[in-house]
Each structure stands twice: as C-alpha cells, then as structure tokens.
Amino acid sequence: MKPYKVAIVGNGMICNAAHIPAYKAMGGQVELAAVADIRVEAARETALRHGIPRHYTDAYQMLEEQKPDILSVCTPNAYHKEYTLAGLRAGCHVVCEKHLEKSPASPYKLARLISLFPKAKIIAAHLGGYADGAAAFDALAGKDIWLDTSNTASMDRGQIKAIVANHPREKLLFGSDYPLFDPANEIRLQQERLRFTDTEMHALLHNADGVA
C-alpha cells in the first residue's frame, strides 16, 4: 500500500516531541514530506533534524505544492481552527492538537465541522469537551463523531456518565494522554470512572479498529 503523505504546520515542541516520533513509529505506513512554520529557523531545523525533505514558512503553499494526505496542526491554539479548516478544504485527514479553539465554544465548533464536512471522520480528545463536559454533552453527545476518553479525570463524573450514556458506544475510543499517563493505569482508572464491565472495557479498547 502506498504510504500516507504527511505534512505538519507548527514546528515547536509538540511537533518534535510527539507528532514526528509517532509518525516515525508507523514505519512505512507514512511518509514525512514537509513541515511549515512562520519562523523559518524552526521549520528548517525541524526538517534537518528529522530528515524531512521540504520546509516552508507558508502552510498554504505547502498544502498546495505537497498535496498531503494527512496534516498535523501543531501551532499555538489561536491558529488551530484556521489550519484545521485549511486542511479539510484541501482534502486532508487532519490531526489537530487540542483545543480546536481555546474557548468554551470549542465543542459547538466541532459540531459545526461535522455539518460542514459530513464525510469526514472526526475524533475529539477528552470526550470532546476537554475540561467542559457540559458543553461536550450539549454539542456532541449522539453526533457522528468519535470521542476519546483521555484525561477524563479533569471532568465531572456526572458529565462523563451523561456523555457516555447518550453517545453510540462504538464511537467511544480509549485514550490515555500517553506519555503523560501510563495506559495500563488509565485502563483501570477509566473503567472505574466510566463504570464499565470487563466486557465493555474490552470493547472500548478495540473500537479504534472500526475507525479506518
């Protein structure tokens, strides 16, 4: 199978410490094609450090010339929405750091993306609400979106219960915020928080098989 072509906008810490190592761990499944940052030295250094053939200061030029299959958005929060939309409009799969926008309205804007791009498969970390479970419940529960369970410790247990009870169980994904939290420990803690049986937890751990 032809590898997925990957481009990354925003070449700071999270790009170099998390996204690029994760893509490299996928081996021949992906090709790191280009990076972009408004700071030319950051883009150049990232490309040289990781053996990435092209670097840009203009992410839109990168999208136009490289036509990537996947765009990782690793910019500061204020630019997440802009580049997520740019990637979707360019036909990319988009991996965006949280939040889509650092605002209580973020879950509602995710819901708007679902309506604007009905063929997109959208996965939202932290049950889609980050620390705001009430907004996630109101905007996203029951919608055509995958919600992952990372960092549920920051959310009210009643809100977690409401989201899980009103969302398709097959569209819940296990997340652990690794390497911040140990996945094995998170499995135990999340089973307690979500009040899942062993069978339900096993299904949660395997729901990602249905995303592709």
pLDDT in tens, 112-162: 989 999 888 888 888 887 778 888 999 999 999 999 998 777 788 888 889
Give how far Cα 154 sits from Cα of 8, 104, 124, 130, 151, Å: 29, 15, 15, 8, 6
Could you tell me if 175 and 147 are in contact, meaning their C-beta atoms sit under 8 angstroms apart?
Answer: no
Tell me what pLDDT residue 102 has. 65
| pLDDT tens column, 51-109 | 999 999 999 999 999 999 999 999 998 899 899 999 999 999 999 987 776 666 788 98
| pLDDT: which is higher, 133 or 212 | 133
**Helical ranges in the chain per DSSP H:** 13-14, 20-25, 40-50, 59-66, 80-89, 106-116, 133-140, 157-166, 183-194, 198-206
| Model confidence band, residue 11 (pLDDT cutoffs 50, 70, 90) | very high
- Residue showing tokens 């840009």: 56
Tell me what pLDDT residue 178 has. 72
Lowest mean pLDDT among 5-19, 33-47, 126-140: 126-140
Read off the pLDDT of each residue in 194-206 and give the average, rounded to a whole number.
94
Interstrand relation of 4-9 and 70-73 (parallel, antiparallel or unpaired): parallel
- Which DSSP category does 51 fall into? T
Tell me what pLDDT residue 153 has. 77
Residue 29 has pLDDT above 70, yes or no: yes
Tell me what pLDDT residue 207 has. 94
Residue 44 has pLDDT above 90, yes or no: yes
Residue 197 has pLDDT above 70, yes or no: yes
CA atoms of 183 and 179, how far apart (whole Å):
8
Tell me what pLDDT residue 146 has. 92
Tell me what pLDDT residue 94 has. 94
- Residue showing tokens 């750091």: 97
| pLDDT tens column, 169-193 | 999 999 887 777 889 999 999 999 8
